Structure 1
Amino acid sequence: MSTMRAQLSLLALNLLPTLIQAYHWPSPLIDQLEGLLYEGKQEGLPDRAVDFVAQLNGCQPVEDNGESIAADWIRFAYHDMATHNIDDGTGGLDASIQLELDRDENVGGDLDRAKFDFIDFPNKYISYSDIIAMGVVLATVECGGPVVPYRGGRVDAEVAGPFGVPTPDQSIEDFIETFRKQGFNQQEMIGLVACGHTVGGVHNPDFPTLVPPGNISFEDNIVMFDSTPEFDNVIVTQYLDGTTGDLLVTGVDGNDTLSSDLRVFSSDGNITMHALASPQNFSATCGSLFERMINTVPNNVTLTDLITPLPVKVAGVQLAPGYEGNLVLNLTMRLLDNKPNRQISLHWADRNSTTCSSGACSSTPTNSTVVTTPLLTALGHPRAVKYTFSAPISATTSISSFWFEIDGEVQNNGGTGYIIEQDEVLWSRDRSASILDPVTFESGFLIVAAVRSSSSSSTERVWINTYQRTTATGVHLTSTLNLTLDNASFPSTAGYDFYSAKLLLVADLTFDLFAEIGGKVYEEELRDTHWIDFA
């Protein structure tokens, strides 16, 4: 990272407060958003899960078309937010953009592509609009820009919003009024356009009068706003010194009909642009304006507190019967620092106790991996470490809670321990599998659940509720599937019987597992088929 980028990242640190102490595990929305934001992957999922950050291609243009993925994500978020009306508090960043892509104001294949860049990440807790907002944070810091503070809790719209994106041929008066309705004054309008146009460029076929079709390579189909792919203020300095290649400033052949950047930048006599010529001011301004942009939501939506990196992050907790007559507790624990020669151990208590009756309830990590992402680096954590545990648990005594000892100090979730709520019904992810029907060639999953054998006589029903994207926006409950006793395929072990069901014609999904036993319902929430090995 260059000296200037290092300064910008250090400046961005001032935008984030220290960790909010009110956090307590489990907190499903925060847990998942924190993992995706700071690790680039959804909370606790295996390496084959889609890597959010990797899609950005290191801020470099994509080889086959010259596109900037970072620019696409920032533009997608602005076009989504642009439906906001400050006068009545409606619209904003609510994922309605997915229902508005056929509008002239949303011209561009980049918006269609960005839509699918985000599609793997929403679930019953995480909204699509939360992912769109996160895309701005990750894209900005990936390209060397400021850290944009992030909050969650956005709610996806189910209907399209009003028109709200200004088009390049509109007058400056129309621009000012449009941005006013979105909640930005004239100076902020200039800053937001400059910040948005520090990456990316003008495309053919979106603007064929500005960019003729390329006849040598796909890269000919795009003219960048400035001469660097990074998030910097070159868009400003080149505008001020007259060397800009921004076609929305220069126009083509004397035709300035589409020179919207020129009209915007010069609308206050270049006062704002001269102020943005300071790299530090540009970075701070963009961080503040982007934060406001992604936090522009309908008045009836309340966002979470700032989501800052957790010093101790527990994820992927799964208790299930093993194959040796015992239970196995799988989980990961991430620490933000990379101190050498750490002494780390996992400890737990018996199911109906706060202590371990055998005196042998501890385990050490099976392995550790270094976690490095641009956002963690910008916040002063260049090498976090994630420790993996696979601890054998006595099936007789089972487990009620766990905690860690880290270099001689106990970490126990604020004094409560990390609670295992129940062990009556457990998802057996190792026995579950991806499947292909030999007759219909339909693909899907075999879902296997374990129910305590002592409860089998009073087990009334075992089932899963599955969640998938069913409309243009939002993840919804899509089906309920009963599981049946299947000890023929999966013999009883560790005091558990096994139930199974086939789920065909589905890709990766999440589900909740339930069992009704003696009139009481037990639940394992938000299991993810990314964990299921391919057959």
Structure 2
Amino acid sequence: MLSLDWNKLLRCVTVATVLSGVPSAQAYTWPNPLMEELDSQVYDRSDYNARKLPTGMRPSCGSFVFGEATGRANVGDWLRVAYHDMATHNKTDGTGGLDASIRFEESRDENAGDGFFNTIFFISPFANRYFSLADDIALAAVTAVEMCGGPKIAFRGGRVDAQEANAPGVPEPQQTLDEHIASFDRQGFTQEEMIGLVACGHSFGGVQNVAFPTIVPPSNDPNNTSGNAPFDSTFTEFDNKVVTEYLDGTTQNPLVIGPNVTTRSDFRIFNSDNNATMSKFADSSVFMSTCADLLARMINTVPSTVTLTEEVQPLPIKPTAMTLSFAGNGNIQLKGEVRFWNGSSDSDVKLFWKSRDGTTSPDFSVPLTLDTDHVTEPLVPGFPSLKSLWYDLPAISVNATQSISSFWFEVDGKVEDQNGVGYAMQDIVMMSNGSCLLLGDGTNVQLVLKFAIRADVKPSRVYLKADALDSSNAPIVQTTDLPLTTPESTLSGYNVWSATVASPINGWTVAVDVDGKTYETTYIVPGTSFSLSYANPTLCPQ
């Protein structure tokens, strides 16, 4: 019987997907707000609509957000935070893992240094209702590796933020080899995998005197105020120097040659199989492929109660910020833009739609226009020329009694409809023209919401869902009920309502519950698609 290396096969499928723009069997179907957001976080990295994690690697991988002369870099902190968060996992009882509990564990001796606070402080504003802080921590590590010379790491989302600390359990330099082997075994890693994970993790960063004064001495270098002693000579680039310098005897890794023999934990770990594993890693390709697998396993080590999503693949044709809005004159407008993964600038693209009752017509179509200024770079390792192109929708207005139930595309004459499923739209609730901000005295800004609900539905609840961060910097959704009394108007089968609420700072939607189902307006992440977003209303007329 033919034996298949499934890990290798999946890596090949992933590369083929990236190159061709064709989704693999794991690709999601739009609409799926969770997967859409994860797709954007992973693959919209630079230029138009780019997400913010990559800014931690700007202008270079040597950047450090909290000072220019510390001798440190964000990349080391970000990878360390992800491991320390995961390292509380207990494979026997399924507790612990990468769940953002690290924010409750920063004061422990096993989490020495300010890298945990710094990292959470910097990345937490990027979290939202579909991108947990735990996902944020995991992707920060992935982003650091992928943008700074490392391999592509398969990413899954859906991590759940813990609400309390997990049991202690992060390995410490002064522990014995047996203690380290037992600790990694509890986490779910063998001795050989322990060697690999430590080598991969220590491709970045070093040990700072300010956090570990008994391991490394202070520095007199004005450009190294933290007293950072790097693990290798390229501590801001992901490569196998931590291995080759160890093997050839040139290493300055303080956990290998430091004056305190008790804290030479890297030496004990690397040498624990007589350097058999480290010798394999002298081959850069072996090191990179092993790190891709081990780091993916590391970030996917979560509490047993959590189920992660499928691997996040880029949707080849991805509608973004697609909104139906009530125009106030009995018409509905469709607005939005479309990302074409690795698209061609000379493609002929048309959008077609169906009315609410499923009717189609030659008139139900428009050409899309490529905006040459709107280009996104995914920055996928090994494929620097990949780009996503964005097409704008022209003004699309339909009678509200017809509405739009779904749409699809033709690209150079070929139908693109998600294998016959189409791209579905809900028209139960939508924003209406006229939402605006009331500034008041400047300290109590209010949002005047104008929204329309189909007159043939009877919602049991209507409410605002607004993103916020809790006291521990984890994203939460706050809800505010919107009482309905008398509609401002009724037109073309819709009731138009108005409500005034405290203005949300972050993303928000209006939701309605109908017969056990929830329908809501389009969620638009702040800082993206500004020109399309009703989430940025103008000031109310005085």
Q: 1:242 to 1:514 in 2, by over 3 A?
A: same
Amino acid at match of 1:190: I
Summarize the alignment of residues 198-237 of structure 1 with structure 2, pairs less than 5 Å apart. 198-209=203-214, 210-212=216-218, 216-218=222-224, 221-228=227-234, 229-237=236-244
**Displacement of 1:193:** 0.8
Q: Is the 8 A contact 2:138 2:299 kept in 1?
A: yes
Amino acid at match of 1:67: R
Q: Separation in 1 of the partners of 2:247 and 2:35?
A: 43
Q: Which residue of 1 aligns with 2:332?
A: 327
Task: Please tell me the root mean square deviation across aligned C-alpha atoms, in Å.
Answer: 3.4
Q: Separation in 1 of the partners of 2:270 and 2:481?
A: 57
Q: Could you say what secondary structure the match of 1:29 adopts?
A: helix
Q: Could you say what secondary structure the match of 1:235 adopts?
A: helix
Q: Which residue of 2 aligns with 1:3?
A: none
Amino acid at match of 2:449: V
Q: Separation in 2 of the partners of 1:21 and 1:76?
A: 29
1:114 alignment partner, one of 119, 122, 126: 119
Q: Percent identity?
A: 35
Q: Which residue of 2 aligns with 1:501?
A: 500
**Displacement of 1:184:** 1.3
Q: Is it true that 1:16 corresponds to 2:39 in the alignment?
A: no
Q: Is the 8 A contact 2:203 2:238 kept in 1?
A: yes
Amino acid at match of 1:395: N
Q: Which residue of 1 aligns with 2:21?
A: none
Summarize the alignment of residues 372-383 of structure 1 with structure 2, pairs less than 5 Å apart. 372-375=377-380, 378=382, 382-383=386-387
Q: For 1:294-353, what per-residue CA distance to the aligned partner results, in whole angstroms no more than 9, with x for missing partners? A: 111222322222222222222211111347874321222222223241101112122323
Q: Is it true that 1:241 corresponds to 2:237 in the alignment?
A: no
**Displacement of 1:496:** 6.3
Q: Is the 8 A contact 1:427 1:524 kept in 2?
A: no
Q: Separation in 2 of the partners of 1:112 and 1:54?
A: 18
Q: 1:381 to 1:346 in 2, by over 3 A?
A: farther
Q: Could you say what secondary structure the match of 1:394 adopts?
A: strand
Q: Is it true that 1:91 corresponds to 2:89 in the alignment?
A: no
Q: Separation in 2 of the partners of 1:319 and 1:46?
A: 23
Q: Is the 8 A contact 1:13 1:378 kept in 2?
A: no
Q: Which residue of 1 aligns with 2:536?
A: 533
Amino acid at match of 2:192: Q
Q: 1:230 to 1:453 in 2, by over 3 A?
A: closer
Summarize the alignment of residues 283-294 of structure 1 with structure 2, pairs less than 5 Å apart. 283-294=288-299
Q: Is the 8 A contact 2:322 2:522 kept in 1?
A: no
Q: Is it true that 1:258 corresponds to 2:263 in the alignment?
A: yes
Q: Separation in 2 of the partners of 1:289 and 1:325?
A: 57
Q: Which residue of 2 aligns with 1:365?
A: 369
Q: Could you say what secondary structure the match of 1:161 adopts?
A: coil
Q: 1:442 to 1:21 in 2, by over 3 A?
A: same
Q: Is the 8 A contact 1:333 1:388 kept in 2?
A: yes
**Displacement of 1:212:** 0.9
Q: What TM-score do you get using the length of structure 1 for normalisation?
A: 0.85
Amino acid at match of 1:468: A
Q: Separation in 2 of the partners of 1:498 and 1:345?
A: 34
Q: Which stretch of the first structure deviates more once superposed, 240-249 or 478-487?
A: 478-487
Q: Is it true that 1:132 corresponds to 2:119 in the alignment?
A: no
Q: 1:378 to 1:525 in 2, by over 3 A?
A: farther
Q: 1:143 to 1:106 in 2, by over 3 A?
A: same
Q: Could you say what secondary structure the match of 1:402 adopts?
A: strand
Q: Which residue of 1 aligns with 2:399?
A: 395
Q: Which residue of 1 aligns with 2:452?
A: 451
Q: What TM-score do you get using the length of structure 2 for normalisation?
A: 0.84
Q: 1:494 to 1:364 in 2, by over 3 A?
A: farther
Q: For 1:26-73, what per-residue CA distance to the aligned partner results, in whole angstroms no more than 9, with x for missing partners? A: 1222221112111139xxx984x8522222224223262343222212
Q: Which stretch of the first structure deviates more once superposed, 257-266 or 315-324?
A: 315-324
Q: For 1:74-105, what per-residue CA distance to the aligned partner results, in whole angstroms no more than 9, with x for missing partners? A: 11110011011122222111221111111111
Q: Which stretch of the first structure deviates more once superposed, 506-515 or 239-248?
A: 506-515
Q: Separation in 2 of the partners of 1:256 and 1:433?
A: 66
Q: 1:261 to 1:319 in 2, by over 3 A?
A: same
Q: Which residue of 2 aligns with 1:5?
A: none
Q: Is the 8 A contact 1:400 1:421 kept in 2?
A: yes
Q: Which residue of 1 aligns with 2:348?
A: 343
Q: 1:203 to 1:390 in 2, by over 3 A?
A: farther
Q: 1:153 to 1:381 in 2, by over 3 A?
A: farther
Q: Could you say what secondary structure the match of 1:73 adopts?
A: helix
Q: Which residue of 1 aligns with 2:472?
A: 472
Q: Separation in 2 of the partners of 1:108 and 1:434?
A: 43
Q: Which residue of 2 aligns with 1:4?
A: none
Q: Separation in 2 of the partners of 1:407 and 1:303?
A: 36
1:438 alignment partner, one of 437, 441, 446: 441
Q: 1:79 to 1:523 in 2, by over 3 A?
A: same
Q: Could you say what secondary structure the match of 1:472 adopts?
A: coil
**Displacement of 1:514:** 2.4
Q: 1:500 to 1:120 in 2, by over 3 A?
A: same
Q: Could you say what secondary structure the match of 1:347 adopts?
A: strand
Q: 1:286 to 1:303 in 2, by over 3 A?
A: same
Q: Separation in 1 of the partners of 2:144 and 2:241?
A: 17
Q: Separation in 1 of the partners of 2:197 and 2:177?
A: 15
Amino acid at match of 1:364: L
2:167 alignment partner, one of 162, 172, 186: 162
Q: 1:107 to 1:499 in 2, by over 3 A?
A: same
Summarize the alignment of residues 12-51 of structure 1 with structure 2, pairs less than 5 Å apart. 13-14=11-12, 16=14, 18=17, 19-20=24-25, 23-40=28-45, 47=49, 51=52
Q: Is the 8 A contact 1:96 1:473 kept in 2?
A: no
Q: Separation in 1 of the partners of 2:499 and 2:519?
A: 16
Amino acid at match of 1:234: K
Q: 1:226 to 1:460 in 2, by over 3 A?
A: closer
Q: Is the 8 A contact 1:363 1:391 kept in 2?
A: no
Q: Separation in 1 of the partners of 2:413 and 2:95?
A: 52
Q: Is the 8 A contact 2:330 2:491 kept in 1?
A: no
Q: Separation in 2 of the partners of 1:437 and 1:264?
A: 63
Q: Which residue of 1 aligns with 2:390?
A: 386
Q: Separation in 2 of the partners of 1:425 and 1:511?
A: 10
Q: For 1:252-306, what per-residue CA distance to the aligned partner results, in whole angstroms no more than 9, with x for missing partners? A: xx33232222222222222221111110111011111101111112223222222
Q: For 1:384-410, what per-residue CA distance to the aligned partner results, in whole angstroms no more than 9, with x for missing partners? A: 212232432223432121111111111
